[in-house]
Chains A and B, each alone.
With several copies, the nearest count.
Chain A
Amino acid sequence: MSITYLEAIRNAQDKALADSPDVFIYGQDIGAFGGAFKATKGLHDKYPDRVIDSPISEDAMAGLAIGAAIEGMRPIIEMQFADFSTVAFNQIVNQAATHYWRTNIPCPVTIRLPSGGTPGSGPFHSQCMEAIYAHYPGTIVMTPATVEDAYSMLLEAIFTDDPVIFCEHKYLYYHLKADKLPTQSLPAESARITRSGRHATIITYSAMVHEALLAADSLHDDGYEIEIVDLRCVKPLDIETILGSVARTGRMLVLGEAFPWGGVTSEVISRVSSEGFHLLDAPPAKLNAHDTPIPYHPELWRYHRPTANTIKSAVQKLLKD
């Protein structure tokens, strides 16, 4: 048996719905249809009152979830694409994220954002918005890179008492497979050493973990052992694990698929430079997508985002510094 990243997300929701009557899912086309990506396929049949088709009203979807969360429910909002959450931005960052702080009453909503680029998706169905939400106090932002994490972290997200922005990567939906779902797992707030090495560390998250692995494989053939840190949760950052890895390798490339100005990569470099300056044997390096909207055409898209090749070059440069 094998299970995909997408199925893991479906299974986590199934389990959450089964385990707690407080869980419900609200989103466009997620009912009988099972969602644009089929992340809720079959769930409406099992939980007809709690897997609910929404009108195309992202602001009100988020508002409704927040109201229910204040009452102690654990709503999940599926945005059809992360990109469309811009329309719910205000409710998420100003209503949900501030709620506990303002009122002492937690707001346990989970906002699922199908994120990231796939060929042909273009500027409005490809975005990575983790940095936008992470900037605001009161949010937790998760970016699972593996099938197992998609499952266990989504369950943690749903049962966490704060708003969780759950950035699931569309490129991994069908591509990524595992043998089975985990019964035990690393807590969501911990980063993971996905591969150990000693010449340099690549710090990354979500789909880029897999590009980094390819680059590391290739660099291995050249005699370099590259350590890979999968952040898993980009807010809060597991700074101990990050600094631990940099301490071992002395060199760090921070890699992300999102836009280059600001964001996770800059935040990690900033933290490491401030808190672990003397661990660095070379300037920290950064690799992101190009500073343009995400192109539709696969030829442009492949060039726009970091790939195993450009990662490898960046590491090679880093190793020479």
Chain B
Amino acid sequence: MADVSTQNTDTGMITPEAFKDAFRWMVLARTFEDKISSVYRAGKIVGGVYVGRGQEAFSAALAVQLNRGKDVYAPLIRDMAGRAAFGEPIIDAARTYLGSAKGSMRGRDGNIHRGSPRDGVPAMISHLGAMISVVSGMLFARRLRGQLDDCVGAACIGDGATSTGSVHEALNMASIEKLPLVVAIANNQFAYSTPNSRQFACKDLVDRAIGYGIEGTNVDGTDLADCLQGFHKALSRAKSGKGPQLVVGKMLRLSGHGEHDDSHYIPEEIRSSGLGKDCLAMARERIIAEGWGNEGSCQELEEKATKEVEDAILQADGEDPPDPYTHDWNACFSERFRDTQPDQ
């Protein structure tokens, strides 16, 4: 278990405040995703629902240490907790899932594909691995403009995405350009149904870092404090000009790939191993054990989250869907280059 001192020092120790802050977003994310799953099961969501159950610690630990409006944060499939921690309003998640026209994607894309580039959150495309070089580009632009300061970019991927050529090219390029980039790999043991054993054959995924000449850290993805510390170290290094950082967290995906998937293929053996521990329950226990809070304060937090989530979903559900007849059907920004094809 990683060290959590009561003082934030230069050695990368994490304060109880940081721990509790991250915990708060974890609770909110879990609450939201539990709710959205039940909405999905009630048939009220078209398309898929992909949740981050079991990965909230790893996800929140990174984002809680970033600054919205300054840093870049590129979440992936299972980063509801990180999104919340980075300041994404919960209503945007609800709107995007429920298809409100007011969501940031205006009905054009859904669920986890939402983003808000002007706030530093690029909107992911589905093709795995493709977002890392985009984050690099955002940092590269800031540096060229002399606006990089100590800002940092973070990009999240899964174990499966590490097999894409995109990830390789992006990590290598970021290292050559010595960009302040942190790449977080959530190794949740599976890519959809595919286990690590069919995804890579190296001893430890973090060893990929060596091949790019970047620094790599392993953290226990079920342990919030360890995640906080690992990311703290990586972010500090990135900011101090040490180039890209790789942080690999190990945990188990405590859900199906999507809510349509019962994940029967996950062996009981892994489920009951240390990897299968629930980071949220563990963080809660620790808060109580350390006396940073108690059962009551935790419950209060949970109830507040429930209320916030229910309000958001209620609100989004009551909003209008996009209207195709008034919708702006233009793929190009430049009016003079818009196609004059007769309307289809």
Contact = CB atoms under 8 A, between A and B. Distances in A.
Given A66-B134, A71-B141, A120-B46, A161 B334 contact: yes
Contacts of A189: 336-337
A137 to B, nearest CB: 4
Nearest to B104: A103
A208 to B, nearest CB: 13
Interface string B100-136: 0000111111100101111000110111101111111
A36 B261 CA distance: 10
Nearest to A26: B140
Contact of B110 (A49, A55, A68, A120): A120
A122 B166 contact: no
B117 A300 contact: no
A236 interface: yes
B265 A33 contact: yes
Contact of B198 (A36, A53, A58, A291): A53
B149 interface: no
Contact of A289 (B46, B122, B344): B344
A299 B160 CA distance: 33
B148 to A, nearest CB: 11
A295 B107 contact: yes
Nearest to A84: B127
B338 interface: yes
Contacts of B297: none
Interface stretch (A91-99, A197-205, A220-228, A246-254): A91-99
A132 interface: no
B137 A68 contact: yes
A152 interface: no
Given A59-B169, A86-B127, A260 B344 contact: yes
Interface stretch (B23-31, B82-90, B232-240, B319-327): B319-327
B46 A56 contact: no
A102 interface: yes
Given A63-B170, A260-B344, 7 more contacts: A49-B144, A56-B191, A57-B163, A60-B166, A60-B172, A86-B127, A235-B339
The 4 nearest A-B residue pairs measured at CB: A67-B137, A63-B133, A120-B47, A120-B46
